[in-house]
Structure formats: C-alpha cells, structure tokens
Structure 1
Amino acid sequence: MKRMSCSAIGRRLVACLLNISEARRRDLVETVARSAITDKHGRKREGVTVLNIFNDFDYNRSVITIVASIDLIREAVLSACEHACSLINMSAHEGIHPCMGAVDLVPLYPLGKEVGLEDCGKEAQALATALTERVAGTSAFLFGWADSPQHRGLAQRRKVVGWFRKTFDMSTIQPDVGPQPIRRFGITGVGASPYVMNCNVTIDTQDLALGRGVAAAIRETSPDGIPGVQVLALHHEGAVEIACNVESIQGGSPSLTNGEEPWPSFTIGGQNFCHAPASLITARVAEMAGLHGVAIKGTALVGFTPNECRSLAEEALSKGIGEYWKELHRVHM
C-alpha cells in the first residue's frame, strides 16, 4: 500500500499530551501508551503514533504524547484513558505534583492546517462524554475551547475545582460531565487550546519560598512576567523546580529586548500564534534566582515545541511507526 506524503498527513493532525498520575511503574505507563496505538484485539491502529513518554518519579506523573488525525484521535486517547483508569487507583497515589485524577489531564492541540480550535473543542467535549460513559464513576471538567462558550483557561478551571490544594473534598466538586467524582478515579480535565509546552528549570536550592518568589516573578500575571507562562515551584530531586506551562499566544512576538530571540511561531486555521522560547524562560529564572545567590542546575523541555511535534508526527506516521518514543530513545542514547 502506498504511504501518504508528510504534507498530506499533516493537514488534520491533533496532538494529545495525556497526563496520567503514575510514573513509578514504567511497565504500567507503557501499557497505557501502547493501548493508544492498538485496538482491543491487539491489532495496530493505523494513523496513530506515540511520540514520547515522559516520566517523573518524584511527581509520580507521566506525560504521553499521542498524535493522530482528528478523525482517529478520540478512540486512541479513549483507549489509553480506559486502561489508565483500570490500572491507577487515586486512593493509593503519592506524589509531589498536584493532581486530581488517575487520568489528570487530556488536552487536545491542533497541529494541522485544516484543524481549528473549534474542531478540537468539539472533539474534546465528545471525548469527555465518551470517557464517563465507558468507565463508570469517572467525571470531567472542561477547559479552553471545550468549555463553550466561556473558553476559560486550564489554570482558571483548575482553581475552580481545587486542583492546586493539597487536600480536597470530592463531594464539593461540581463536574461538567459525569457523576459526582469518587476517590478511585478523581476528576479529569479535558479540553482544547493552542499548543502548551512544559518547560521546567531547576534551581540549586531547597528553599521552596525562594522558588515561589522566582515563580511569581516570571508568571504571566506579574508586571514583568512572561506572556503565556503559568508556573509552580515544587520540591524535586533535592532541589526546587520552576515548573512552567508555556501557553501559546495569538499574534507575533511581544516586544523583544536585549537581543532576545524571536518567539517561535505557527499557524492554526489561518491565525498566527507564538510561544516563549525555553531559552528566555531559563534566562529569566537564572536572573531572578541569581539575585539571591542561587544558580540554576538545568532546564528540561517535557516533550516538544509545536513545530517539533508536528514534524516528528509527520515522520512517524509517514513511516507507520506507532512506538516512536522507542526511536527517540535510541537516537538520544
């Protein structure tokens, strides 16, 4: 059978950076990932790839990057969610990172030229409904373009359901889809938005208060914050990690100073978007931490930039590679 060209494949692509509340059992995480690329009979799903699996032991959280056309993404992600819910019990979960669900986050990001945010929003709504129907006891809240017509962002919706609290009462949470949440599954955030990267910068201190000050300084809502950056400071591997969600913003680069590099850009449905580069976030964190005599230990980009994600997905799908994360591992060994 003749394979499609990358240009033909790329027009309707959607990425899901599936966040599950488990990282310490690698075999379990890989089982969830494989369920996205195989059907219930164990046969390979054509047109679906898992680009990357990121595990964090301290956080006890994994991010699985699933890419397919918008016509195929729902079944692939649902299969992964079903397996995760059957294998992860939130009653026994321990980890530093905030979380509320066995499947904690299901964001859909348009990568293709012919896929818009509205398309992904409708697909996310359908996915949330299907999950609560297939796995009895699961429930979801919606964000972004799935949260119609408000289009409230993920951070805002997380605050409403109490995601940032250390402890929470399931009986007080009002889901958008499904029944009252139960401890076994928790509640899942399902939504759609322009691509969101995860960029984590580690600073060489165990002083969490200092880390929170650094995080506050670069947060989007601060006077000199970085547009699109939502951030937490968390203890991590004997240091403090400045964990950033880097949201894509509409338009071109903000005003640049001191020789800053232009922000990487991409297009969704004819509209231009861009995102803060990891180099800028690292530099700002280094600057703020340096005011207290603290150095940075390193920067980790969880997954890919939007352009990298699309390019790698086109390569993986054109070659029919479902377990692409293994190819990446071999390349980086």
Structure 2
Amino acid sequence: MLRPMLACCKLYVSEGRSAAALRAVEQAARRHHPAVVLVNTFVDDAYNRVGYTLVSRLTLDAASPTPASPLRRAVFGVVGAALEAIDLGAHAGAHPRLGAVDHVCFHPLAGASLRDVAALAADVGADIGDKLQVPTFLYGAAHREGRTLAAIRRQLGYFTSPRDAQWRGPLLAGGTDTTPLPVAPDAGPDTPSASKGVLVLGATAWVDNYNVPVRTADVDAVRRIARRVSERGGGLRSVQAMGLAHGDGGAEVACNLLDPQSVGAGQVQDMVERLAREQGLDAGEGYFTDFSEEKIVHMYLEKLSAQAEVSSYGFDAPHSTENHR
C-alpha cells in the first residue's frame, strides 16, 4: 500500500492551566474530520502554554492551484475555539507570546512538498485573519518574500524580556484595541484586540523543539548561555535559542532546531552543558516537546488503520493524545 502525502500542523495556544479552555480546544481538534488526527498534546504549566500536533492527508488536484486537505477546516476550527476560550489579557506565563493562539506552523510529511503545504498555510492564514478578525502574520514558505519567524517576532517585540521573567497581559510591543501594530498584518485588521492579540502562521521544513534544563534561578545567566548556543549569537548553525525561567527556581535553554538532520539535539546538549559548567552551573538532560517526524507519520497511519478496523464494526475509534517523544 502506498503511503499518502501528509501535512502536519503544530499549533500553540497561550493557556496551559484552564481545564475548561483546553477541553474546548481539544474537542474542536477532534470534531471536524476523521482523517485529521491529533497525535500529540504537550502541556507546559510553567509556560502556561500548550502545543498541539495535527496531521491529515494532502490531496493534489490538477484542476485546483491549492492542495486539498481536511486540515484547513480543522485548524480553523481549533483556532476559533481557542480564541473564544482564552483571554490573552488575563494570561501570565514564563514563555513569550503574541496572541491567545500564538503560533501555527505547517510542515510537509511523507513525500509532500513544502510548496504544497505553503499554499495550504496561506489559505488558513487568510481564513483566520478575515473570518476571525485576528491580525495574522505569515512567514517561511507561506510568505511571499520568505520572511522568517524570528524576524516577524522581533518586529513585534516578542523577544523583549520582562524583569521578573513572566509575560503578562496583552501584546509585548504595540497593539491594543486602539493602537495600530508596528507592522501591517498579511490578513485581518491592523489593530488587535487585547483578548486575542495577533497570530503568526507559517510553513517550513521540519523543526525539532528541544529544551535543556539548567539548575539555577539566575535567568540572565541562562539567557547568556542561550545567546551563545544560537546561530545569531555565533553558536550552532540553524539553532535558535532562548533562556527562560521554567518551574520553581529553575530555567532552561529552549531551542528550535531548524535543520535537525545537520545539527541535532546531541550537539545542543553538549554545548549547553559545556557553557553551563563555565558559569559554575549544572545542566540537566534535555527533552523534546513532540514526537519525531518519522514517529508522527507512523502514529497517523496506525491511527487511520485502527479507525478503519473499528468502524467496520460500527464503533467510533478513540483518539490519541500522547505527550512525550
């Protein structure tokens, strides 16, 4: 049997503590199409943030310029449910964010191309901006000039660190119900609401998220380590890193590995440990916030197979919501 081309969407919401809000979001993720599978839910209480990973088929039609995927409707539904359930104005957490739904990214899987996923992402971005009235910024292959995620975040003030290492309330830089944003969005209104903020949405090749704990309450020291680890600070190529408070009296170096086949978690781990020792600190064992690309494909196909088998007996199959790699 030939494996289908797949599209993956990672979606991050600025809430990790309200059971009612998270229940509404997860119900929306399961509501729209049996071929859309929620393969991972990663809850981080310290960050007050949850990451969801959704996967579905991607179908190409010569008569249409845009690939068809039930993921388009599913992601729109999840974003709508999250915006209704989460109030950014009441949010507080140790991770920076720009919106109640902070970040949405599409990745190609199982033979799909980045170009196909980019077209899907652009359509979803237009749906969200225009129909849900949230300023939506595109990046990566979904943006006509290939703007990077870090670039648009930097323009919007995402990396401006508060003194107590806790982000509270609405947008970090600019943007209220009456103040225009410093950069015009690609879709949606020019002024965000304080309760919803803005949304950043893109399409890229696969990205691994890998975080390394450092046993210290000195967040500034961990930020210095993160700066030296990141490519921007002269460190590892294709690695983006932030130093963030995480848990009671702890911190971590949170990394995006943009080319994990070339520069992976092992190299990040080694460098963080070495830099931590230089400052008299102890780094713990790092962890991924999602499954590997290969395992996600396997889980999706396994889930569809189980659904087909169970449906033949007239029952509904349960959904997978694992939260470890």
Mark yes or no: TM-score above 0.5. yes
Does 2:162 match 1:153?
A: no
Alignment CA distance shift 1:29-1:276 (3 Å): farther
Q: 1:128 to 1:302 in 2, by over 3 A?
A: same
Structure 2 distance, partners of 1:275, 1:66, is 25
Q: Which of 164, 176, 184 does residue 159 from structure 2 map onto? A: 164
Counterpart mapping for 1:265-304 below 5 A: 274-304=261-291
> Which of 1 and 2 has higher RCO (CA within 8 Å, sep 6+)?
1
Note if 1:37 corresponds to 2:30: yes
The residue that corresponds to 1:75 in the other structure is 73
5+ residue gaps, structure 1, are 40-44, 249-262, 264-273
**Which is further off, 276-285 or 89-98?**
276-285
Q: Which runs of 5+ in 2 are unaligned?
A: 59-68, 163-171, 308-316
What secondary structure is seen at the aligned counterpart in 1 of 2:80?
helix
Q: One-letter code of the match for 1:161? A: L
1:98 offset after TM fit, Å?
A: 0.6
Which residue of 232, 240, 245 maps to 1:235? Answer: 245
Q: CA deviation at 1:230?
A: 0.7
Question: Separation in 2 of the partners of 1:168 and 1:235?
Answer: 20
Are 1:197 and 2:190 matched, yes or no? no
1:219 aligns with 2:230: yes
Cα separation, partners in 2 of 1:168 and 1:302, compared to 1, 3 Å: same
Q: Which runs of 4+ in 1 moved over 3 A?
A: none
Aligned length: 289
Which residue identity does 2:118 align to in structure 1? G
Give yes or no for contact 1:145–1:193 (8 Å, CA) kept in 2: yes
- Which residue of 1 is the match for residue 47 of structure 2? 59
Give the CA deviation at 1:68.
Answer: 0.7
In 2, the alpha carbon distance for the partners of 1:306 and 1:276 equals: 15
Question: How far apart are residue 172 of structure 1 and its match?
Answer: 4.0
* CA RMSD after TM alignment: 1.9
Give the deviation of 1:324 after TM superposition: 1.1
* TM-score, with length taken from structure 1: 0.82
Aligned sequence identity (%): 28
SS of alignment partner, residue 275 of structure 2: helix
Deviations 1:19-45 (A, max 9, x none): 001001134223312312213xxxxx2
Kept in 2: contact 1:50–1:322 (CA 8 A): no
Q: Distance in 2 between matches of 1:56 and 1:219?
A: 23
Q: 1:25 — aligned with what?
A: 18
| Residue 186 (1) aligns with residue 191 (2) | no
Counterparts of 1:198 and 1:55, CA distance in 2: 14
Alignment of 1:134-153 (within 5 A): 134-135=131-132, 137-148=133-144, 150-153=145-148
Structure 2 residue matching 1:316: 3-state secondary structure: helix
- Give the C-alpha shift of residue 275 in structure 1: 4.8
Of 305, 318, 324, which residue of structure 2 is paired with 1:318? 305
